[in-house]
Every structure is written in structure tokens, then in C-alpha cells.
Structure 1
Amino acid sequence: MMQSSVADHSKPRLYVLDTNVLIHDPTAMLNFEEHQVVIPMTVLEELDHLKSGKPAVAVECRQAIRLIDQLIGDASPAELEKGVPILRVDGNTLGRLSIALQLNGEVVKRLPNTINDNRIINLLAILQEDYPQHEVVLVSKDINLRIKARACGIEAEDYHTDQLIDDISLLPKGYHEFSDSFWDGVDKVETRQELGVTYHSIALNDDLPSMHMNEFILDEQGFVGWIKEIDDKRLLVKDLSNDNLLQQEAWGLKPRDIYQALALKALLDPDIHLVNLTGAAGSGKTILALAAAIEQTMSEKLYRRIIVTRSVQGLDEDIGFLPGTEKEKMEPWLGAITDNLEALHLDDENPKGSVEYILDRIPLQFKSLNYIRGRSFQYSFLLIDECQNLTPHQVKTIITRAGKGTKVVCLGNLAQIDTPYLSATSSGLTYLTERLKDFSGNVHITLQGVPRSLLAEYADANL
């Protein structure tokens, strides 16, 4: 009698995910409710191979790898084989995730010596046997290699020497927002006027959060303050007018909200030498920086030239193979810059002509990061886009190129890291923000998302 082929849905299921599933949906392992999800070692190897390939696929591979790393946390190899709980976005823990460690019923102790990562893991396994009195630990920036190593019973950890925070939510925003009135939490304040500017000397107390130089204070009553001095006992806060901030203008561009207004204030201040803007796509980072650069170069003559560069994965390797001059080679990578130039002149009778006029007359130079390194720039407005893809070492190398009279503006979105070996916490942009938060010539602002259109807003919420 033939047995029924109908599946018994009363039993808990074990789902084994193929590589193409994780490419299609990098968060797929979260979608199997109370059941167990298994990632085969072969899938990890395929993700590792594809994470540096074609951009359309590589982004999903890196997102899947980072999610797997987040889910397994500090689990031991034995826990990985059994399955670690999957913590969902809503806080519920349903289902388990495991890495497949067995092949034909036997525990895998060695991986095929076909790729360098596997050779490293196999060497570590040998070292574990040869040095039983030692704890053998792999240190790697490669998240996927760490996952594979731990699945094979080898302790693995990230290189944390230049990582200053463990949780990106701890990164300063550049401002502190208070419900109702900021002054409700102030015990003692002394106010004075200097050349038409109001300053408040505020005694610190336990009710106030930890603050840093050049951060802003916002409250629901409309007060805006700028921290200009700080010590163990007091804050010196410069009183800013909310209305004046929102009425600022640079090359015809006005801020759309108070966060953009704070950013523009810093961009137009000649005493601020470094401006660091983070935020999601559509928050206005690039267009604000460009407008401020053109205004101060063309109208105010503060800078002799605008230098624009962009950190893009593969740029340094690929630029040499593109035809034409350096400017012509850079243009395909700098479409976001020229797009924003056009956006600044949408109301002109001939926007294209206006952009061509700017490019012909403004000393605007597109440079490769390879060109930036080893140079010193005087009286320049240096705009570095996509900074989230830079390592801490690269950030230091570039920032130290700033010469006399140069302003550096770093732009980036920590949610869109394109390099396989960086995360939001280890990015050079995070390192820069945390290291320079007490520098008197630095301002960091996290911009809020401003929908590009009604369609973009709806798609972001529903797709």
C-alpha cells in the first residue's frame, strides 16, 4: 500500500535556505514563525563569494551576512548547531537559526581547501589541536569568515581597536531635543549680551544629559541654543533665533526643517572647519553642502575652489580603466552631485544651461580619493560624499589633508554601507563623529528623512 505523500503539518518544520532565497530577501530567516531555519555552510561560502561581486547582488549578500551575525550573537558552536533563538523586530522570540555543521551524518572538522578563507579556518583547527593549552581566536573584519569559523568550533571576534561604540544608537546626533521647555530642567542660569548676541551660562545638574561642544539644544517651545563652551560645572549656550535659522539662504536654497537649518548654520560658519552630516537618503545632505559651497566660493569668496570626491566601492580600482581625463572618469561616479546641482536650479528658465554655467565658471573639481591622499589643500571647500564606506584610517588620511583656510564636509548614510568589511559601528564616519565630538571646530548633525516625493514616502512605508 502506497503511503500518503501529504505532509504532516502538525510537526515543527526545519527550513533549509538556499543562497538565492537570501539574495531575494536578506531577512528571509525572520519569516518562518516558530520553525527552525538552517543555513548550510555552502550557502555561507556562496554569500562570501558574491558579497564583493555585482552591486545589485552584493548589497543583499552583505545585508544577509550582517543579519546572520546579529542573530547568532555570542552563541557557542554547540548552540549554533542546536539553533539560537530568532529575535524578531516586534520583540518576540519565535523559531531558531542554526548553521549546518554535519555532512552525511558526520561532523565537519575540515573545510575543502579550495579558497583562502577555508585554509585559514583549517589552520586554526590544527592550531587548536597542537596548542590545547591555548585559546585559539580568529580576529577578522570579515563577518562571514567569523560566522564560518564559529560554526566550525573556532572562537572568532572583530578587530575593535578603532571601534569606539558597540551600538550605533549611542552615536551623538549633534543636538538634544527636550519635550516642552528646556529651561524646566535648569537650576541656575546667568544671561548676558555681547554685540547683540545672547549667551546663557547654565549650571550643570543631573537632570541634563551628557553634552558636547557645538551641539545644539532644541525644545518644543521654540528655543534653539548652541553650546559654545563646556566644562565640569557649566555650559555656555549661544541663543539662536528659530525664525532666523529657517530663513537662512545659500545659493537660493532655504532649509526645509530645523535640522537642515542647523546643518546650514554650521556649513556657512567660517569658524567651523569640519561639518559631518549623516542621515537617510532624501534628508538633504548633498544639496545643503553644495549650496553652501557655491555660496561661499562665488559670492563670499571664502574659498578658492570646491573639491568633490566620493567614496564608492571599486572606485579606486575601476577609475583607471575608464576613458578620458580624470574629470571625465569621475563623472559617472558623481551623478548625485550633478543631480543636486540641477535641483538647485529647477526654477530657472533653462536649468541645464544654469548647471553648465556653474560648471564652466565655478572652480568645481571632481577628484578621485587617490588624488586626495598625499596632497594638502589651501582655502578649499572639500566635500567628501559616501563617507560611511571609509575606514577610520582612510578618514584620518583624508581629513589631515586640510590646509590653511580649508573647510571639510563629510556626508554619509550609515544604513547604506557598501564595503564588505565595515559595519555602522566600525565605519570611519562613526569613528570621525565620536572622536571629534569635543573639537571646537567641528559640528555633527544627523538629518531627519525628508521624503523626496509623495510616491517615495508611500513606497518607504509600504514596500
Structure 2
Amino acid sequence: MAKKNFVLDTNVLLHDPKALEKFEDNDIYLPIVVIEEIDKFKKNMNELGRNARYVARFLDSLREKGRLDEGVKLGEDLGTLRIVFSRKQVDLWPQIGNPADNAILNVALELTKEKEAIGETVIFVTKDANLRIKADAVGVKSEDYKNDRVEIGELYSGEVDYYCSGSLISKIYQDGVIERPQDLELLPNQFVTLINSENPKNTALARYYKTGEFGSDVLKRIDPVDDVWGISPRNKQQTFAFELLLDPSINLVTLVGKAGTGKTLLAIASGLMQVADEDTYKRLLISRPVIPMGKDIGFLPGDVESKMGPWMKPLYDNLDFIISRNEEYSVPSYKELENQNILQVEPLTYIRGRSIPEQFIIIDEAQNLTPLEVKTIITRAGEGTKIVLTGDPYQIDNPYVDANTNGLSYLVEHFKGEPIFGHITLIKGERSYLAERAAELL
């Protein structure tokens, strides 16, 4: 395969600071303007700033190997990195648009003409859709950064329907466990709805165990739980979700679904049950990224609790609803749980750098996180900790990710098949008929 030449935009490095090592043995070109933009971002005290500082340190370490303008080998099986200037101003868009974007595109255009003369391909990589359009307009081949891209339409659902004989369904009801049918390919902890081919109303719900206490390569029948802190499953996907949430052997769970499907409610109820009643975990820790929907409300006065109140209100609403349905608590308030050190609700920012053992952690609205942020969160898990991420990949407020590149979708795709991981996509809205219709029609 012929070697390719890639010109990278700044947003690629800010999205994935290790992107320079993911282009195999092809050559990479960084316009000098990219370095200037990285310098501007590195002072930010957020994820973009941390990524910018990582890139700056990495590029500085390459200087020890040689001159960046002449090209430095990135690794044994990797290509060469060069920092380049535009040797002439291409007068395509004088005084219009973003000067930095135009300068980067000028480099890509100049390099394209140079490499075409010797039969090589140049590809401009940017996450900016408008810049890809501009590149196409001037004859520069461009692509989105696809290393962490997941095709959302093909996202693993965590379940499958299997049509079979009535005798097989009778057997799993009688024995509780059956061997996996040879024509049914499954991943660990995937759920199966066994459906009678002759009578579709005759069904059984099962979970696949590749190995475990119930045997190897088997399907175990599951029944809906009656009550989890006042919450009962209303459909089979919620039954599957409780099966994963209440199993301590599953350390990582992802729940994906549109608004109103019960993702957060099921997770919180399961966490409270295992912390307050069963002592499986020491504390329930709930967090979510602080990203506004619509126009930001700006600076908020007060202490951390006061500042975080508006952002965490959806979590508090779920907590109060659950507690109000539990007869053990006469005062329906999450404050009682916090006073007993059962519950902790805090900003996601505070998780970085910590080691969190023996806790049930819920990360709500995880679709607004980048793959790197999700990795940062999961690597905080100490011994005996369970992490649950919930979200809707189609409802994203973070301008730097989309349905295909957000951390939640990335996590589902890369963890499927791991014995300690379980996933289910919730389909039916249960909040109210109005909420369900709004999610479908709007």
C-alpha cells in the first residue's frame, strides 16, 4: 500500500492528544498555525487545556530526535512528523473566514500540489465539517478523524431475539440453564429473548454466560425483579438493565436510550439498594458533566454545592422520586442519604486524579464526554468499585463530540465482549405518554 501524507488540523489533536501515533507508517504534517493554536489552548484548565499541554510536551520531546522542520520519526512502525510553513499565500479567500483555518488549508493545498507531481496522496484531516467543505472546494482531499469513530446505527444493543422450538423454552423454564444453541453467536453477558417459532407469545428471557458459576457457554433464564427501592421494571430491557446493575461481578455497565426510558432511575435505585440495604458498596457516588443545554446561565454565586445545584437537579429529582416510594424514609429528601454518608453527588471535575474503591459510581449524561474523558473516569475505579454510565448518543450538548465520536458510544464498542462488562439499549419510554411521544416525534 502506497504511503499517504496527512495534514492535521488543531481540533484533531485537541480531541485526541495521541492522534499523532495513530496514522501507522504514513507521514504527518503539522502547519505552524496548529502549534500556535495549541499554545493558546494549553492555558485552559479543562480537558482541552490538558490535551493541548500533552501535545506540546510530546512535540517538545521529539526535538531531541531531530529537527521538526526536516522531519522526525515517530516510532519504529510509524511515519515521520514535520512542522511546515506555507511558503506562499494562496489568495483564495483574502480577509474572509477564519485566518487560522485558511492558513492551515493553504498548507494542505500547497502540499497537495507538490505531492501530486510525484504521484503521492495528501489527506487533510479535520473534525470541522465546514473546513472539509472548503477543502473540497479547492481540490484538497479531506476526511474526519475516524480513529475513535463508532457507527451509531450499528451500536451493540446488548440483546438479541432467537426463534426456537417450544421444547427449548420449556427446558429453560424447567432447568433454569441450557447450553447455547450452536447457531447462536453471543458475547458475554448478552441477553437473549427466546421466542417460540410456532407461538410467538411463548417466550423466555435469558443471559449468556461464557464462563461462570452457572456453567460455561450457557444461557441462564432470568426473571424480573419485584422491587428495587420502590422501582420495578416495566419492560424487558429494564429487566435486563437490573440484571446487570444488581450483579456485583459486572464492574462496568452502560445504559443507552432516549429520554424517559429510565436509565438514571434504574441505576440510582440499584445503587441505593446495594449501598444502603446490602452493604455491597460503601457509598453511592453520582456525577455528570457540567454542560448546559442552550445558552449558559453564566457565573453562579455561592459555595460548590450552591453552584452545582442547577446542574445536578435532574439527579436530585430522581433521588427524591425513589425515596418518596420507599417506606423506610419518612422524609422524602436526598439530604437524609447524604447525612448518612450513603450518597455523594459531586461535579465530574473532582474525579480526576482520585482512586475510588468499593463504591457504586453513576456517570449520568455520559454522551457528552470524549473517549479520553471516559477513559480517565474508568481508570479511577479502585478494587470493588462498579461504574455505570448512562446517556443518549442522539442528545448531545458538547460541541466537540457527536453521536459517532462521543465517549459513551466509544466505550460500548470497545468493551463489548469483556466478561466484566454489560450493556443494554433501553427502547421504550416509561416516563409518561407525553414524554414518549415527544421523544419519538420531535
Same fold by TM-score greater than 0.5: yes
| Corresponding position of 2:244 | 266
- Displacement of 1:179 in angstroms is 4.7
> Any residues of structure 2 matched to 1:171-320 within 5 Å, and which?
171-179=155-163, 198-205=176-183, 208=184, 210-220=185-195, 221-229=202-210, 236-241=217-222, 244-245=223-224, 247-313=225-291
SS in 2 for 1:278: strand
- Displacement of 1:113 in angstroms is 5.4
- Say whether the 8 Å CA contact 1:202–1:235 is kept in structure 2: no
Does structure 1 residue 157 correspond to structure 2 residue 132? no
> Any residues of structure 2 matched to 1:288-437 within 5 Å, and which?
288-313=266-291, 322-347=300-325, 353-437=332-416
1:55-92 deviations in Å (ceiling 9; x for gaps): xxxxxxxxxxxxxxxxxxxxxxxxxxxxxxxxxxxxxx
1:81-108 deviations in Å (ceiling 9; x for gaps): xxxxxxxxxxxxxxxxxxxxxxxxxxx9
SS in 2 for 1:223: strand
* 1:137 alignment partner, one of 88, 108, 123: 123
- Displacement of 1:168 in angstroms is 1.8
Residues 353 and 346 of structure 1, relative CA distance in 2, 3 Å threshold: closer
Letter of the aligned partner of 2:186 in structure 1?
A: M
Residues 258 and 191 of structure 1, relative CA distance in 2, 3 Å threshold: closer
Counterpart Cα distance in 2 of 1:183 and 1:212? 24
| Corresponding position of 2:49 | none
Gap runs ≥5 in structure 2: 1-90, 196-201
- Say whether the 8 Å CA contact 2:285–2:343 is kept in structure 1: yes
Counterpart Cα distance in 2 of 1:387 and 1:459? 22
SS in 1 for 2:121: coil
Q: Could you tell me the TM-score, scaled by structure 1's length?
A: 0.65
- Say whether the 8 Å CA contact 1:142–1:420 is kept in structure 2: no
- Say whether the 8 Å CA contact 1:203–1:235 is kept in structure 2: no
Q: Which moved more, 1:154-163 or 1:112-121?
A: 112-121
* 1:124 alignment partner, one of 100, 108, 115: 108
1:255-302 deviations in Å (ceiling 9; x for gaps): 111110110111111111111100000000000001011111111111
- Say whether the 8 Å CA contact 2:320–2:332 is kept in structure 1: no
SS in 1 for 2:147: coil
- Displacement of 1:140 in angstroms is 1.5
Q: Could you tell me the TM-score, scaled by structure 2's length?
A: 0.68
- Displacement of 1:311 in angstroms is 2.2
Letter of the aligned partner of 1:296 in structure 2?
A: Q
Counterpart Cα distance in 2 of 1:352 and 1:258? 32
Which stretches of structure 1, 4 residues or more, deviate above 6 A after TM superposition? 190-193, 348-352
1:278-335 deviations in Å (ceiling 9; x for gaps): 00000000000010111111111111112111124379xx999543333333222112
Counterpart Cα distance in 1 of 2:432 and 2:96? 51
Counterpart Cα distance in 2 of 1:338 and 1:202? 42
Letter of the aligned partner of 2:354 in structure 1?
A: R
Q: Which moved more, 1:345-354 or 1:254-263?
A: 345-354
Letter of the aligned partner of 1:147 in structure 2?
A: I
- Say whether the 8 Å CA contact 1:312–1:389 is kept in structure 2: no
- Say whether the 8 Å CA contact 1:281–1:449 is kept in structure 2: no
Does structure 1 residue 169 correspond to structure 2 residue 153? yes
SS in 2 for 1:118: helix
Letter of the aligned partner of 2:306 in structure 1?
A: E
Letter of the aligned partner of 2:137 in structure 1?
A: A
RMSD across aligned C-alpha pairs, in angstroms? 3.4
Gap runs ≥5 in structure 1: 1-107
1:1-30 deviations in Å (ceiling 9; x for gaps): xxxxxxxxxxxxxxxxxxxxxxxxxxxxxx
Residues 182 and 385 of structure 1, relative CA distance in 2, 3 Å threshold: farther
Counterpart Cα distance in 2 of 1:160 and 1:217? 32
Give the number of equivalent residue pairs: 338
Counterpart Cα distance in 1 of 2:386 and 2:134? 44
Letter of the aligned partner of 1:110 in structure 2?
A: W
1:184-231 deviations in Å (ceiling 9; x for gaps): 8x9xxx9899xxx733223523xx3x421110111342211211117x
- Displacement of 1:449 in angstroms is 2.7
| Corresponding position of 2:66 | none
